[in-house]
Amino acid sequence: MSKHDDLYHRLYSHPRLVADMMRHFVKEPWVADLDFAHMKRFNAKFHVRGLRRREGDLIWRIPTRSKAPIYLITMLEFQSRSERWMVIRIVVYICLLWLQLLHEKRISRREKLPPVFPVVIYSGDPPWLAPVHLHELIGLPDDSPLWKFQPNGRFFLLDEGRFSLEELEQMDAMTALLIRTGHCLTPEELPELAEKLIAWMTKHPEFKELQQTITDLLWMTLSALGVDTQAAQTSLSKLDEVPTMLQTRIETWKKEKKREWFQEGRQEGRQEGRQEEAASMLLKQMRRKFGQTPDWVTEKVKSADLALIETWSDNFVFANSVDEVFAI
C-alpha cells in the first residue's frame, strides 16, 4: 500500500470523517435518514486470487433511523489513478461481502441482503474517465433482449479534483479542507490551510484523534510539491506547531533554491564567457587565413556551443577553405 493510500485509510478509519464525507458530498435524500452515531466498522475477510487482499479494508455498517430494519453497508475504495475495470472489482467485492455475511450467519435464510453503497474516492489530477456503471462495459446494443440477464452494478465516484475552490470554501466540512490540502499547487498555500484545519478542529474537538494523521498529510503534501521535509518533520510533535514549521521549512527551501539558481547562473555565465572567447578567437584566425569571412560564418560560429567551436578550431589547423572548417 502506498503512503497516500495508507493516509487515506487512516483518515477514513475515523467514523466521524466518514459521516462528514457522506453528509457533504453524497447528495442523496436517504443520507438524512442514516444514523451515523451508531455506525460500526465491519471487518472483511474475503480474498480473491489476482485481486489485492480485502482484509482490514474500510467497510462501515450504518443503520437507518426509520423503523425498517435496514442496514446500509458503505464500502470505501481509494484510487490515485483512473481504472477502467474498477466497477467489476466493486461488484465482485459486494458479492463476496454478502457471501461472508451468509457464511457467518449474520443474515438468516429468510432475510434479504443488506444494501451496499460503494464509494470510490479518487485523488488523481486528470478527470476520472473510466466507467462507473457495469453496463458501460458490456458489449450489447441498447435494444438487446439479453440486457435483462446481465448483472448490474455501479459505484459512487467522489472525484476530488472536480470540485472548484469556491465550492470547497463554502463547505463547513473537514473533508473539503482535506481535499484542498491534497490538491495544493504551491508550497505557500499549505501554512494557511494548516491554520484553517486547526481552527476547524478547535470547533469540532471530536476529531482530535485525527491530528497526527492530518499532520502527516500536510508534510506528505509539502514533500510531493518538491520540498525536502525529512529533517524538519522529525522535530514535530503537535498539529498546532505545523503552520510555523511549514513556513520555516518553505522559507529555508526558497533560500536553498535561490542558492542553487545562483550557482547554476554563475556556471552558465562562465560557460557563456568561454564560448564567446572561443568564437571570437576562431573568427579572428579564419579572417587571417582566408580573408574577410561572409556574415553567415560569423552568425554560425557565434550561435554554436563551446564543444562545436572547439571541433571547428581543430579542423581549422589543416583546413584549406571555410567549408573544410565546418566539415564534421
CB 210 within 8 A of CB 11: yes
Q: How far apart are CA 308 and CA 270, in angstroms?
A: 17
- pLDDT value at 55 more than 50: no
pLDDT in tens, 299-326: 898 888 888 888 888 777 667 788 888 8
Q: Read off the pLDDT band of 265 (50, 70, 90).
A: very low
Alpha helices by DSSP H, listed for 56-130, are: 86-103
CA 58 to CA 130: how far, in whole Å?
Answer: 22
Question: In the chain, what are the helix, strand and coil shares in percent, each to the nearest 5?
Answer: 60, 10, 35
> How far is 306 from 283, CA to CA, in rounded Å?
14
Please tell me the predicted confidence (pLDDT) of residue 260: 54
Separation of alpha carbons 281 and 298, rounded Å: 12
pLDDT in tens, 100-111: 888 888 888 888
Round to whole Å and give the CA distance between 13 and 4: 14
Q: Domain coordinates of the chain in residue numbers?
A: 3-134+149-251
pLDDT reading at 127 higher than 80: yes
With CA atoms as reference, report the closest residue to 152 among 164, 166, 138.
138
| 319 in Cβ contact with 290 (< 8 Å) | no
State the cell numbers at 159. Answer: 472525484
Q: Are 217 and 179 in contact (CB under 8 A)?
A: no
CB atoms within 10 A of CB 137: 12
pLDDT mean across residues, the chain:
81
36: helix, coil or strand? helix
Computed from CA positions of residues 262, 268, 271, 277, in that sequence, does the dihedral angle turn out positive or negative?
negative
Q: Is the pLDDT of residue 137 over 90?
A: yes
How, if at all, do strands 156-159 and 116-122 pair? parallel
Of residues 16, 30, 21, the one with CA closest to residue 72: 30
- In sequence order, the β-bridge partners of residue 118 are 75
> Distance between CA atoms of 46 and 59, rounded to whole angstroms?
12
Where does residue 141 fall: left (phi above 0), alpha (psi -120 to 50 degrees), or beta otherwise? Answer: beta
- In whole angstroms, what is the distance from residue 194 CA to residue 250 CA? 14
pTM of the model: 0.69
